[in-house]
Each structure stands twice: as structure tokens, then as C-alpha cells.
Chains A and B, each alone.
Chain A
């Protein structure tokens, strides 16, 4: 692991990319890491492409510039692959985790690619295509640097005001976690 691991999350406004980054920061913190999460500062609109970032390190994170060369990229909505340059600035040997039911075109396979149909699971559990928490399970099983226990703890903290959502989200996280394994 580099001194600071940088992660970029792509989604569409309303899909929870920003919450994903926050949950990743909270749960990785419970794993013993120093973390930092922030959105791409801009004017948010529902449906528009959204980016959020996360930094994870064993040491205090002082760096406060934006993320340009992520090691890991998480894509919550595969339709973004056609509209924007998802892998821009990606470090060589980086990891790409995409929510899709299809196989990615060959051009992406210069990176380590992981795909999972998280939408399918989200529709089953939430009756809505909101996949951010489910994709947290994907991150955990791909990187092996995050335990389900820490994610659950983060979910409980983040959805303190919406206890009805905690159990469902836990189910979504575990489902994707085990699907990838």
C-alpha cells in the first residue's frame, strides 16, 4: 500500500456517491486507518455525474488538494462509462470496481477490473436502484482491507437518524461482499 491510498467514486446525483466516500472513510477509520473523504465541490444536481474522493493512510493525512491519481476507482452507474473518461489519472496497476451486469470492453482490462451486479441486489432489497452501500461490500472483498464488521459499525453511525435503513443496508453490503468472493 502506498503511503496514502486515494479512491475516486463515480456516480450520478442522488445515487449516494458522496455518502459512499463518507462511509468508506468512517469504516476504514474503524479498521485502524486515518481517513479523509470529500465530494467534488460543485453544484449538485440529480442525475448529473458526481464524483467523491477518499484518502486512506496509516499516518495522519495532511494533504488537502483534490485527488488526481487514484489507486482505486468505484463506479456506481455503468452508464457513466460511455459519457466520461472514468479512468482519467488512474495509477498503473489500479483497481476498477464497476456496478454492471455486463462484461466491460477490453480497453478497461489494462487495470484490475471487478464487476458486480449490485443494482440487482439493491432492487431486491430496497426496491430502488441505490447501490452505494452495496458497493461498499465490493470494495471490502476486493481490497481485503475492510471488514464487514467495520462497515456495519459505520452504517449504524451514519443512519442513526434512520434506523429502518440499517438492517437493509447491512444485507445489501453482505450480499455483494459474498457475491464477489
Chain B
């Protein structure tokens, strides 16, 4: 199939079509709406044979997804912002029950004040829910990662739900060329989902029972182990995708760009990575050695890969599009923690940028590079102008 100019939301819907989930409970919310619309069209046109459940809220959407996934069928949903916040308590049920639900999050700020535009505060607030979190940069990556997500989630060593986060509007509403593969190619990559413990009247089981203090911790440890396994499985899924589709995103966990010989680097996630690439290119042309570390997988946090990437750097600027109020940017915290015990480590700076749809430009990135290359003290700054 050829490359086509389509909206990133359409690319996500196309990916879902290729993966053929049996049940899709969804509740529309800006800026995820176009994903729901496209999937509805596919079902209406007979291109996708899925049951779409029209629910009354996001809380119900994920609850229905849990019920569906528990019966052993591939299940998909999507949401954003307040919708993800409303799902919050159910997020933990999905991951605790180890159900491989795939969900796209069209990242948007949380109220108040009301704001429909892009930042990462919605998914960052859900980072401890034991969902795998993957952030994407382009429409193509949104398409590819959504397909990979089913493979990762359904792996027997993982069995955890996944959020594929794409920036609302800034990416979700962008039209750009996307390579759409043949269905057979996707079938070869993503085998039919074979569940193990499912709700079946012929072979009854109980799912979601009480966990007493003597066993509860064991279940939580198993979840943590599954997250550790996910690191390997995500890498593997990325490399297998590369052999079949000739596309890959770093090692699947992080992607480094022009890091060779670089003294300074920006660490960020999502669509602003693209803008950072442009800034890096411009500075490299001037002979200034800078690079980019793109965090694609935020949970599980790719600690070892981060350590390796930071080893030869003198300064790193972490750009967070969310704040853990009362402390700092969540990615900044995690990055520092990851390299804390290393003997040789760069100076790490924190920049909070692009909250609530505030544009992050190439010039912003150039300014950040300039600032971190001139200082010997750690910078903490909000890009307000």
C-alpha cells in the first residue's frame, strides 16, 4: 500500500483497523474525537468488524473494556484529559487484572482553567497506574506504535495495558504522509490474540477477587516484574517491526539523535522531539555538538538506556510538558533518579514548557541549548515568554 497524506488521528484509527479488536468501548472527548469518528466510519462501512459500545462516560468506557478484555478478546479504547482523569480508578483495575487493553491518549491539559490544548499533564498523572506509557512524535509513529502496542501488551511475559500517547491537536490534528502497510504484513507481525485466563461459561474462573494482605504484595511484585519484562519485550517488538516494516524508533525505549560526540542534549517526549531535531540540525551545521534523547517509553522507565545515553554528556536539559506541583517536572525527577548512582554524570537542567497548548518553537530549543552550554549551575526554568 502506498504512502498517503492522512490525519494522525486517522492513522491511529487505521492502525486499530489493522489490529481488528473485537470490542471498542469509547467516549468522545476533544482532541481524541477524530479517532472515535474514523473508527465509527470504518465499522459503519464494513471495513472493521468490531463491536463499538457507546458508553455514558470514560469511567464506563474503561470498565466495559475490562469486561471485554476479561472475556479474552482484543480490546481497544481512546481518551484524553478529563476523560483519562475520570478513568483513573479503573486504570488500576485494568493493570491489576493484567488485561492487555490498548488505549490511545490524545494528550491534553487538565482543568482548571479549562483548556483543550496539548500538554502531558493527563498521562503523567496516570504514570503510577501500572500502564505502559509510550509517547509518539509523528503520525507514522502513532500508527506503528499502536500496532506494536497490541503485540507488547499481549505478550505472556507482559500482560499489561498500554497507553499510546500522542499530542492532542499538535499531532492528532496534523495531516502528513503515512505509510500504510498490507493487512497480511500486519497479520504476520501481530499474531491472533491467545488469552489464558478468561471468562468462559464452559470453564468458569473468578477474575478480580479480593487479595488479602498475605498475597496482595505478591501480585504487585508480579506487576513490577512484568514492567521489567516489558523493557525487553518493547525492544524486541521494535526490532521485529524494523525487520518487517523497515522502520524503527531508536531501540523502542529511547531514540538518540545526533548524540555522537555531543556535549549537550535535550531530553523530551512527544511531538516537540521533531522541533528539537530541527534545532539540533541547525546547531550541528554551525559546528556546535548537540543532540537529542527522545523518551519514547516513559513507563517502564528505561533506566539503563538513559544511563548509557548520558554517559558522555556534560549538560542535559529535560523538557517537561507537565508539572508535579510542589516539586518539579516528572521526567526531570526520573532522569535524575536514574543516573544518581553513576560516578560520571552530566549536569541536569529542568525546563517546563508547552503547558496548555503553548507553542514550543525551534527558537525555544536554540535558547535552551545556549543556556545549558554556558552555565555551571543547574537551571530550573519555566518557558513563559
* Cross-chain pair count, CB within 8 angstroms: 63
Q: Give me 20 A-to-B residue pairs in the complex whose CB atoms sit less than 8 angstroms apart, sorted by A's number.
A: A22-B5, A26-B5, A29-B177, A34-B177, A35-B175, A35-B177, A36-B174, A36-B176, A37-B175, A38-B169, A38-B175, A41-B31, A41-B357, A62-B274, A62-B277, A64-B170, A64-B271, A65-B275, A65-B360, A66-B361
Choose among B117, B177, B275 the residue that contacts A64 (Cβ–Cβ < 8 A). Answer: B275
B362 and A37 within 8 A (CB): no
A38 and B174 within 8 A (CB): yes
For B176, the chain A residues whose CB sits under 8 A away are 25, 34-37, 61
A65 and B361 within 8 A (CB): yes
B278 within 8 A of A: yes
Shortest Cβ distance from residue A61 to the other chain B in the assembled complex, whole angstroms = 7
B266 within 8 A of A: no
* Chain B minimum-CB-distance residue to A40: B169
Residue among A21, A37, A61, A62 having the largest count of chain B Cβ atoms under 10 Å = A62
Give the docked Cα–Cα distance between A26 and B5 (Å). Answer: 5
For A66, the chain B residues whose CB sits under 8 A away are 359, 361
For A39, the chain B residues whose CB sits under 8 A away are 173
Give the docked Cα–Cα distance between A6 and B277 (Å). Answer: 18
A41 and B169 within 8 A (CB): yes
* Chain A minimum-CB-distance residue to B357: A41
B residues touching A (Cβ–Cβ < 8 Å)?
A: 3-5, 7, 31, 116-118, 169-171, 173-177, 271-272, 274-275, 277-278, 357, 359-362
Give the docked Cα–Cα distance between A26 and B357 (Å). Answer: 26
Give the docked Cα–Cα distance between A172 and B90 (Å). Answer: 52
Choose among B5, B275, B359, B362 the residue that contacts A29 (Cβ–Cβ < 8 A). Answer: B5
Give the docked Cα–Cα distance between A25 and B3 (Å). Answer: 13
Residues 58-91 of chain A, each 1 if its beta carbon lies under 8 Å from chain B, else 0 = 0001111110100000000000000000000000
